[in-house]
């Protein structure tokens, strides 16, 4: 809990550093996971000739978050790629959520409200509200 008290005393420059680190880490981890899935995909089916005359959508297990998580946990190649993309999508959402938390620790009510509105709009749009 000591880090929460310290969070209230962070300068704007320190906060920007934490947020930049959060974004950098999220992008690098998601890129590494996508790359691992891509390498597995190339090894397994890199020499196959695609048939573009027939559309094949995503398998049923990759159409839900639980299916993606299950496939990624089993280290399936398409599951890893989809999981990496989910992490990439979650990175800016985590940044906004952390910003709201840090503004709350600094007791900056206006920025907390604005950040929570941005977080709500992000959640609504990710859920398919703005399609």
Number of domains into which the chain is organized: 1
Over residues 42-70, mean pLDDT:
85
Kindly report the average pLDDT of the chain as a whole number. 86
- Structural domain span for residue 8: 2-46+59-126
Q: Are 106 and 8 in contact (CB under 8 A)?
A: yes
Q: Does any domain span residue 53?
A: no
> Is 60 exceeded by the pLDDT of residue 5?
no
Cα-based distances in Å from 57 to 1, 5, 38, 43: 47, 49, 18, 21
- Both structure tokens of 110: 């206006």
pLDDT of residue 94: 92
**pLDDT classification of 6: cutoffs 50, 70, 90:** low
Whole-model pTM: value is: 0.78
Q: Does any domain span residue 131?
A: no
């Amino acid at each position: 809990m000591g880090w929460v008290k310290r969070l209230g005393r962070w300068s704007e420059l320190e906060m920007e550093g934490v947020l930049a680190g959060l974004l950098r880490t999220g992008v690098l981890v998601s890129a590494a996971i996508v790359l691992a899935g891509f390498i597995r995909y190339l090894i397994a089916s890199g020499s196959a000739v695609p048939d573009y005359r027939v559309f094949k959508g995503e398998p049923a297990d990759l159409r839900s978050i639980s299916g993606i998580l299950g496939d990624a946990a089993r280290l399936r190649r398409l599951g890893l790629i989809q999981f990496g993309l989910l992490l990439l999508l979650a990175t800016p959402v985590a940044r906004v959520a952390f910003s709201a938390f840090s503004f709350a620790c600094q007791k900056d009510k206006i920025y907390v409200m604005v950040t929570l509105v941005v977080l709500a709009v992000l959640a609504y749009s990710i859920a398919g509200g703005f399609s």
